């Protein structure tokens, strides 16, 4: 079985959805499962609905705008009396109904119930369209198959239950399902983290023992740097799982950090290809004697630099580290880079849930702290140390670290 994942850019409008069918035709539409994201910027727009709801502002107008956009996409794909229009209306009525009756003050819980609807609607439209043009498929609700705990917005997969449910699927037919979402033991929706559709595809690939998994992007494959941020980048045609994991960890946006581990465990080849030109080879991630170790550039933006030191000039000891990392876990803040000396600790942090101020308040009870927001982490993998000076030009460097062939710097 083959797993294909299509992101938001690949289904952003009616022409893009039609292009998905062209990609499938070029690849052979049989024994495959499609994992599809919300259309275009729908996730961002639904996030705004949640914000307005908690501000007690007019969220209904925003819902209506998003619904209108999906209706317009459907109008470019279906005859006017098609049943999909009633389905779209029903999904948006469900969002409005949920927000009207909801009593939970938990932002993350409400976020997951609302934002997940983007994937539900997009997959219904794509599935119906493919059936309409004789690409026969069955629509699946991913929440019936991917089971998680109740860590809303960062669901932890229950692999035993998930594998039990997914392994029962018929591997001889085609399916369309959602990325990004699962459900907890009470069947409430739980999202798997922002941009988590790649991870969803990897979960299905692992549980179905897939032959391959392919992610379709608007770039030719994995490049030596994001072409929107770096000049003269080139395509990496073959890289190892290990190199891909390192690149994802450091912030390469083309690969979701959690995607690689399930694939590596079963040695499932992973491809990143262009939906603009599906005949091109793209990038293969996996075990190969052709794997490259090229110099690659990664920029991770919207980071926070936190400097911590003891009040009494004593060493940063193990008990201090335990306390600090306990708070980081409590506030769901991830460490992108760490550097410590005898009396201080510097952390470059990713704060998805905007908890840095609360973390800092806790730490200031015990330590001296300094916070610098909105910094960037620049990483050079497989750096050629003989021309390292060029990376410092026109940068205000707040922190730097060199280890083996990797250079990292936190810049403003």
Q: Which residues are annotated as a binding site for ATP?
A: 5-8, 228
- The helix (H) or strand (E) run that includes residue 2 is strand 2-6
Cα 340 off chain centre by: 30
Cα 252 off chain centre by: 11
Give the residue ranges of the annotated binding site for substrate: 43, 119
> Distances in Å between the alpha carbon of 285 and those of 179, 255, 262, 350?
20, 11, 13, 26
Check if the beta carbon of residue 254 is closer than 8 Å to that of residue 272: yes
The Cα–Cα gap between 265 and 270 comes to: 12
Q: Which of 335, 303, 302 is nearest to 321 (CA)?
A: 335
Tokens of 219: 């770039």
The Cα–Cα gap between 192 and 247 comes to: 20
Q: The sheet that has 175-178: what strands, in order across it? A: 138-139, 175-178, 32-36, 2-6, 212-217, 270-274, 283-285, 238-239
Count CA within 13 A, CB hemisphere, residue 243: 26
Q: Which of 171, 26, 186 is nearest to 112 (CA)?
A: 186
Give the residue ranges of the annotated binding site: 5-8, 43, 119, 228
Contacts of 263 (CB under 8 A, 6+ apart): 202, 205, 206, 213, 241, 269, 270, 285, 286
The Cα–Cα gap between 115 and 193 comes to: 11
> Distances in Å between the alpha carbon of 364 and those of 40, 217, 306, 311, 327?
42, 44, 12, 10, 12
Check if the beta carbon of residue 118 is closer than 8 Å to that of residue 42: yes
């Amino acid at each position: 079985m083959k797993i294909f994942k299509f992101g938001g850019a690949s289904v952003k409008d009616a022409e893009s959805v039609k292009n998905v069918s062209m990609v499938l035709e070029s690849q052979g539409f049989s024994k495959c499962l499609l994992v599809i994201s919300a259309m275009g910027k729908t996730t961002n727009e639904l996030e705004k609905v949640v914000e307005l709801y908690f501000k007690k502002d007019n969220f209904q107008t925003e819902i209506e705008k998003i619904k209108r956009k999906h209706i317009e996409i459907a109008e470019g794909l279906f005859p006017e009396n098609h049943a999909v229009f009633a389905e779209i209306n029903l999904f948006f009525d469900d969002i409005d109904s949920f927000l009207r009756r909801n009593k939970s003050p938990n932002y993350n819980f409400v976020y997951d119930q609302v934002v997940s609807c983007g994937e539900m609607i997009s997959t219904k439209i794509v599935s119906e369209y493919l059936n309409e043009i004789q690409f026969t498929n069955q629509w699946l609700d991913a929440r019936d198959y991917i089971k998680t705990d109740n860590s809303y917005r960062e669901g932890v997969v229950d692999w035993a239950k998930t594998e039990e449910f997914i392994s029962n699927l018929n591997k001889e037919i085609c399916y369309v399902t959602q990325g990004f979402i699962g459900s907890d033991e009470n069947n409430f929706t739980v999202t798997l983290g922002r941009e988590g559709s790649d991870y969803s595809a990897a979960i299905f690939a692992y549980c179905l023992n897939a032959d391959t998994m392919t992610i379709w992007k608007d770039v030719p494959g994995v490049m030596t740097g994001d072409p929107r941020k770096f000049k003269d980048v080139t395509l990496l045609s073959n890289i190892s799982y290990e190199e891909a994991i390192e690149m994802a960890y450091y912030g390469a946006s083309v690969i979701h950090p959690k995607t690689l581990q399930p694939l590596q465990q079963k040695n499932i080849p992973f491809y990143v290809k262009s939906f603009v030109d599906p005949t091109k080879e793209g990038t293969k991630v996996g075990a190969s004697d052709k794997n490259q170790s090229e110099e690659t550039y990664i920029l991770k933006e919207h980071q926070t630099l936190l400097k911590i030191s003891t009040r009494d000039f004593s060493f940063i000891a193990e008990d201090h580290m335990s306390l600090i990392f306990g708070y980081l876990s409590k506030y769901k803040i991830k460490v992108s880079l760490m550097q410590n000396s005898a009396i201080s600790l510097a952390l470059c942090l990713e704060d998805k849930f905007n908890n840095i101020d609360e973390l800092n308040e806790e730490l200031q009870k015990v330590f001296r702290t300094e916070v610098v927001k909105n910094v960037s982490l620049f990483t050079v993998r497989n750096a050629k140390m003989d021309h390292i000076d060029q990376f410092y030009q026109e940068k205000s460097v707040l922190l730097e670290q060199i280890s083996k062939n990797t250079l990292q710097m936190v810049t403003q």
